[in-house]
Chains A and B, each alone.
Chain A
Amino acid sequence: MLVLSRKTGESIIIDGQITVHILKSDKETVKIGVDAPKDIPIFRKEIHDEIRFSNQKAATAPDTDLTKLKTPVMAK
């Protein structure tokens, strides 16, 4: 992993198109700003990981038998 030291107000640029700005920092929190093309997805990693893990559990064979599903929604 590349490790860089930056001061508040400084930034780094990635691949000529993504700029990460260090806006503010105190003891526990760093506030960063990201300038990137609109089509590049940017996520807080913990939420991304949670959804990714959930998707991996959810992916299943398309012929799964839903009649055993214990949910009243099935009745609609």
Chain B
Amino acid sequence: MSPADIHQQLVRQFGDQITGANVTALDPWVEVAPAAIVEVATYLRDDPALQFDALNDLCGVDYFEPDAKKAAKFAHQPHLEVVYHLYSYSLKHHLKVKVKSPRWKNDQAGELPEIPSVSKVWLIAEWHEREAYDLMGITFTNHPNLRRILCPEDWEGHALRKDYAFPLEYHGIRGQ
């Protein structure tokens, strides 16, 4: 099935929950509204024509330019993206799914945005979402165990945010 066909099928099934697509990109992608991601993910996994049984990767991307001088030239609106790379072992095809979200919930700096968790759909998502929470600062709702995974529990901030401030001190260890 070609990426354009997959996109068409998803639009037929979910209507305006499919908020965008680029089927001619290097890795063709489909954009899904955050509220519908679990439903769409379950459909992508279970539909006999799609059968995306594997989640190869899940990660967050922070589209933001902290430098005010460069921000004018920045090609994107500031936002966060969660990117799901899917693969089907039986049908051997790929799809990239994107979910866009504001950088902060209600535009309040420090309040993490919320996206529903897909850890019930693909078991590996549990760890990948913990990593995205830890490093990118995204709260995955309905996650069974949303704790930091790579950084210590008492670490402050989320390192892959573009405006992350490096700590000056951690338990008596001096920073930069």
Do chains A and B stick together as partners?
A: no
